[in-house]
Amino acid sequence: MPALIRTLCLLSLLAVTAGRSQQHSILLESAPGTYQANASFVVNGVIPQQPDAHLFTPLEDLKLLSDSEFTSLSHPSFPRHGVRIKRSNWCDGTVQAYTGYIDIEARHLFFYFFESRSDPDKDDVIFWTNGGPGGSSSMGLLMELGPCKVTGPNQTEYNPYSWNEQANIFFIDQPVSVGYSYAEYGESVGTTQEAAKDVAAFVAIFFENFAKFKGRPFHMAGQSYGGRYIPLFASTIYDQNARLIEAGMSTVNLTSIMIGNGCTDVIGMMPAYYDMQCKNITVAPVQRIDSCVRMRQALPRCEKRLKESCSDQFDLIDCQAANAFCKAEIVDPFIATGYNPFDVSRLCEGEMMDTFCYSITKMINAYLNRADVRSMLGVDPAIGNYSTYSPEVGQAFAASLDKFSFPAQYYIAGLLERGVRALIYAGANDWICNWVGNERMTLELEWTGQQTFRAQPLRAWNVDGKTAGLTRSTGGFTFATIYGAGHMVPYDMPAESLELVKRWLAAEDL
């Protein structure tokens, strides 16, 4: 399958310059003394409660941050973790923006954070990650739902449909080696489980340091491979809350997950790949009749081999063989048509692995490789050329067959059972993580509300008096399609995308 499948103490605050040796310090200083890193974040499943944790004073006002150098923050309960953050006046122009790194020993995750245009002191917080695996969230930021969009290698324009219209939002480059994130001493991440540990630490440290946002409803969102990332990331954060309580810390108010065109159940997506290229569902069939006949004959064997080798039991060698067979028979024939796998209604712009079928990606690369932009954002000098996609990360996840190694949909069910709402939305024109496969996944999901959910008919949902798509919902679980959109819904249908998010944050029916 194409590699793109696999798309934060005023009392204890240390201001340091951008020099790497100073930034790397995670000492916490306060009146009684200095506390030095000497224990891990979690030891045998427990967050160590430091004897001096009550001396910690969170940063109350982000406006105190410098716009020319990083401020380093830490917490005694996270002795091997730190935050480097600065104000970065760019992209939006109407709200405060910040960039920086969450330092987790030798792993350093880059983030962008934008306050809400509406009421930053009260609005919810959204976490966004792109997929891949290996895809940088700069695509979500600068192409889809961020405060600005890149319109050329040297310019951006204000995005009136940004999701920070009514929410505080941060974008994260994860795992390490993606975008501006990096690692030292050979550290790397090749599975979603490994990535989840870093993201959970990121989220806990963010809220503990930035008291202004503590307790706000928190929504985890992503697209594409985010369909596998988000369920596990959110579940790890939910389970981590119990340990935060034991350590005398505030919990993360995980309220919902939002997955756009997610490849959550990869095995279940296989028959949908056939449907979307050989049946008259969203658009007319794009395949030759004889190709569709061959594909239909191969599909049962593909599904059987994936189920036996990748689902019923995970056998790396046999699963690799099954994946290779399905790729050759089901996936490759579509790629060969030249159609855009992210929007079956149009042809690919340029070579897929060069532009990902959208020429804007090359402009994003050029813009984020500008020296002045990197300096403004505080990008670590250790970072080489920026790229919207990391082949190394994609290859590492492919080698571990991460896309088959755990049932991501079961984590969605677990979250629903615990009162965490889930929104599964899909642009109707996407092929790679299409609405057909996503609807089937939602209908087959085993949870206490399954029968009630299945009994609900699909109905139209409207924006400005026009039908925006179809939806089905019950008990905090919602499925929705967006007409006219491909894989990247906010890019194709920005107004509908923003209205979808506004209603979801307000817990309103679509």
> Would the pLDDT of 244 be above 70?
yes
Is residue 114 in some structural domain? Answer: yes
Distance CA 337, CA 116 (A): 42
Tokens coding 434: 């299409």
pLDDT of residue 32: 27
Is residue 272 in some structural domain? Answer: no
In this structure, of 61-65, 170-174, 226-230, the range with the lowest mean pLDDT score is 61-65
Q: How many CB atoms neighbour CB 171 within 10 A?
A: 26
pLDDT of residue 79: 81
pLDDT of residue 73: 83
> Would the pLDDT of 30 be above 90?
no
Provide, rounded to the nearest whole percent, the portion of the chain with pLDDT above 90.
Answer: 76
Confidence band of 351 (pLDDT split at 50, 70, 90)? confident
Q: Which of 117-121, 149-153, 205-209 has the highest mean pLDDT?
A: 117-121
Query: Which of the following is catalytic: 224, 309, 473, 497?
Result: 224
Confidence band of 180 (pLDDT split at 50, 70, 90)? very high
Contact at 8 Å (CB) between 136 and 391?
A: no
Q: Which of 278, 322, 276, 333 is nearest to 300 (CA)?
A: 322
pLDDT of residue 42: 45
- Known active-site residue 430: yes
Is residue 245 in some structural domain? Answer: yes
Distance CA 60, CA 424 (A): 35
> Would the pLDDT of 21 be above 70?
no
Is residue 295 in some structural domain? Answer: no
> Would the pLDDT of 43 be above 90?
no
Mean of the per-residue pLDDT values of the chain: 88
CATH number for the domain including 190? 3.40.50.1820
Contact at 8 Å (CB) between 131 and 225?
A: yes
Confidence band of 57 (pLDDT split at 50, 70, 90)? low
Q: What's the rounded mean pLDDT across residues 316-329?
A: 96
Residue 423: phi, psi to the nearest 5? -115, 120
If one counts the domains in the chain, the total is 1
pLDDT of residue 60: 65
pLDDT of residue 179: 96
Q: Which of 201, 15, 232 is nearest to 102 (CA)?
A: 201
pLDDT of residue 26: 28
Is residue 77 in some structural domain? Answer: no
In angstroms, how far is CA 124 from the centroid of its own chain?
Answer: 17
The identity of residue 245, as a single letter, is I
pLDDT of residue 247: 84
Contact at 8 Å (CB) between 110 and 185?
A: no
Q: Which of 228, 293, 233, 226 is nearest to 266 (CA)?
A: 228
Is residue 394 in some structural domain? Answer: no
Confidence band of 54 (pLDDT split at 50, 70, 90)? low
pLDDT of residue 300: 97
Is residue 138 in some structural domain? Answer: yes
Q: How many CB atoms neighbour CB 51 within 10 A?
A: 9
Distance CA 439, CA 279 (A): 16
Query: Which of the following is catalytic: 124, 173, 265, 430?
Result: 430
> Would the pLDDT of 5 be above 50?
no
- Known active-site residue 402: no
**Is 0.85 surpassed by the pTM of this model?**
yes
Q: How far apart are the first and last CA of the chain?
A: 34
Q: What's the rounded mean pLDDT across residues 391-412?
A: 95
pLDDT of residue 352: 85
pLDDT of residue 421: 98
- Known active-site residue 487: yes
Is residue 136 in some structural domain? Answer: yes
3-state secondary structure of 325: helix
Query: Which of the following is catalytic: 256, 487, 492, 497?
Result: 487
Q: In which domain, by residue range, is 500 found?
A: 94-267+405-505
Contact at 8 Å (CB) between 153 and 104?
A: no
3-state secondary structure of 344: strand
Q: What is the 3-class SS of 274-285, one letter each residue?
A: HHHHHCCCCCCC
